[in-house]
Structure formats: C-alpha cells, structure tokens
Amino acid sequence: MSEVILELQDLSTHFFTDYGEIPAVDRVSIKVHKGEVVGIVGESGCGKSVTSLSIMQLIPSPPGKIVGGEIRFKGENLALTTEKRMKKIRGNEISMIFQEPMTSLNPLFTIGNQMIEALRIHQKISKKEAKEQSINMLKRVGIPRAEQVIDEYPHQLSGGMRQRVMIAIAMSCEPEILIADEPTTALDVTIQAQILDLMRILNDEKETAILLITHDLGVVAEICERVVVMYSGQVVEEGTTREILKDPKHPYTQGLIKSLPKLHEKEQKLYSIPGTVPKPKMDRKGCRFASRCERAFDRCFQVDPELFLIEGERKSRCFLYDEKKGDGIDRAASSIRS
C-alpha cells in the first residue's frame, strides 16, 4: 500500500463548558494513505465533525482544546505546530469543504475574488494568472459559462453550483488531502450524484486523498475505500467499505445497517436500535453502546473495551472480539444466551 500521509494517533479533543468537560473526540486513531478515500460515518454528536476540525486546527478555543494525541501529516505533528505554519497548510496542502455551501462562501465577494485570494495566498502568481487558473478550475468542476460565473456573487448560483465552486476553491492549490464534511447533505439526490461523480474524478486524476465525513451509508458505499465508524466520540469499527457494509462486526454498525430502509429489498418491519445516542461525558465506565446493545453482558457495563484487532486492518471496539481470531464471537454470544 502507498505511503500514509495523514495519521491521527489517539487524538482527543475536549470541550470545557459550564457543564463540565466533554470528551467530544476520545482517543481517535485514523490513517489516510495517498490517493485513498476514507469515510468517517456516524450519527449526529458522534464527534466526526470535531475530528475533521481538529485536523485543520479550527476548533474554537476556548471552549475546545486538543488535549492529547498526535495529528501526523507527512511526519509533522499538526497538533503542536504554529498558527503561521497552519496557515500555509490550510487550503494548500489540506483543504476542506463544508456541508452548507451558502454559509461557507462570502456573500459580499464575487466567486473570482474568493478563488483568486486562495490562489495568491499560497502561490506567487499574478492576478491575471490566478484568474486564468480559476476559470480553468471552474471549467474542470463542470460549471457552465465559467468566464461569466467568475464575476458573479454566490447568491446568483444554485446549491449544487455553489458546492462545485467550493470544491474548485478547495482543489485549486492541488492539496494532498481534501476533507469533505457532509458535502452532499444539503443537496438533492440528483445533484448529490453529480457532486460525488466530480469528487471521484478529481480523486482519480490528481491522486488527492479524500477524508469524507458523512452520516449516509449510501454515499460511503458509492465512493469510499475504507470506513471508520464513530459512536459517542470513539472509533467503534474500522475496515474496508465492503467489510463494513456486508459484514459489520460491531453491534452498533450492525444495527445501523439493519435500520436503514433499502431501495432494492422488501422488508416488513424495520429494525431499530432502542434508545438514543448518549451524550459524551467524562469518567464513563464501560462500553458507550452497552445500554442500547442487545448483546451486552456484565463486562460491557464495567470495563471500557479497546479497539480489538480482528484481522489485518479490521478492528472493532467490542468484547465479542476479545480474542485475536474470530471464534470468540460465537463463544461470547452463546454465553449471553445461556
């Protein structure tokens, strides 16, 4: 496999609020290889967005703070780097696109203005060259009439077009990694298909790695190679997309997939995970999912499970896999039944 360009090692980001310390991201480790598309999936409040903001050092501080762990980008630990250095990295080597394209573009400046700004900060080129490059970039992301659009304001474009502009800005400096935080959630399905298609093309052509944050398992199946499932601030399962979707190991992932209505199957009644996602809090004992888990046993409520290695890169944070090989599952499961 190609080299690792981004590696999170036990990253912990906590928020210090009036109600106490909240471990929004709790010892998260994720690897992204060159040119790879990795998905982070989870429900709202699981810490997936905070993870991505931590990588970019965009956590509002206070109340947020990275309290532990490393963010290794090509060998450099971003958690310790200076703001000056981060400014060089952001938008140049690591870019980010957000969920809501309307709020991430400045309504007071033209599209061209915002694109040229990003280019000129990171590259020594003239305004004219920057404008030419911007027009080319807009054409590449499939914007018709690029020469005119560059002089237009964000409100003159539709949601899908704005997201294309965001991608154009993010890709203009040819970053090594693109972090996409729910890039298609605000868009309609037909537009979502266009944007996913575009991201796939850019990934192929430029070998840009993509870290895609989403709650939609369909989007993951569409574009990701590897998937990390998060729950209540922790990584609970990791594997290739096929492994996760076809053979989920963690009871949470299993429940999540079973509770989706499928387009190509007929199901009578949907499975549903009882209860709701617990809020992360300090000093929690045991597995975060135990109270909603059908297969939980005594140990789950007392001891915090580690991320057990099943085989290769396949990991699951569940005591059912507390033996190096897979046969532990059945034994543990039968011990619950008896």
Partner 1 sequence: MQRPLLEVKSLKKYFPIKSGILGRKVGHVKAVDDVSFTVNKGEILGIVGESGCGKSTTGKSILRLIEPTEGEITFNGQDITKLNTEELRKLRRDMQIIFQDPYASLNPRHTVEKIIGEPLLVHGMTSKVERSSRVKELLEVVGLSSYHASRYPHQFSGGQRQRIGIARALANNPQLIICDEPVSALDVSVQSQILNLMEKLRDEYHLTYLFIAHDLSVVKHISDRVGVMYLGRMVELTTKDKLYEEPKHPYTQALLSAVPDPDPDIKKERIILKGDVPSPENPPTGCAFHTRCPHAMDICKQKRPEFQAVENYHFVACHLYQDGVQ
Task: Using CB under 8 A, list all residues that contact partner 1.
Answer: 43-44, 158, 160-161, 188-194, 196-197, 215-222, 241-242, 245-246, 255-257, 259-264, 267, 269-274, 276-277
Minimum distance from residue 265 beta carbon to partner 1 (Å): 8
Minimum distance from residue 263 beta carbon to partner 1 (Å): 5
Of 176 and 238, the one with the shorter C-beta distance to partner 1 is 238
Minimum distance from residue 128 beta carbon to partner 1 (Å): 30
Minimum distance from residue 274 beta carbon to partner 1 (Å): 8
In terms of C-beta density within 10 A (0-12 exposed, 13-18 middle, 19 or more buried), how is residue 173 classed?
middle
Of 66 and 318, the one with the shorter C-beta distance to partner 1 is 318
Of 270 and 333, the one with the shorter C-beta distance to partner 1 is 270
Of 218 and 286, the one with the shorter C-beta distance to partner 1 is 218
Q: Are 118 and 105 in contact (CB under 8 A)?
A: no
Of 89 and 161, the one with the shorter C-beta distance to partner 1 is 161
Sign of CA dihedral 277, 281, 285, 286: positive
Minimum distance from residue 194 beta carbon to partner 1 (Å): 6
Among 329, 274, 239, which Cα is nearest to 319's? 329
In terms of C-beta density within 10 A (0-12 exposed, 13-18 middle, 19 or more buried), how is residue 327 classed?
exposed
Minimum distance from residue 73 beta carbon to partner 1 (Å): 29
Distances (CA, A) of 112 to 106, 117, 124, 155: 11, 8, 17, 14
Of 68 and 278, the one with the shorter C-beta distance to partner 1 is 278
Angle between helices 159-171 and 127-140 (to 10 degrees): 130
Q: Are 101 and 163 in contact (CB under 8 A)?
A: yes
Cα(206)–Cα(204) distance, integer angstroms: 6
Report the chain's C-alpha Rg in angstroms. Answer: 21
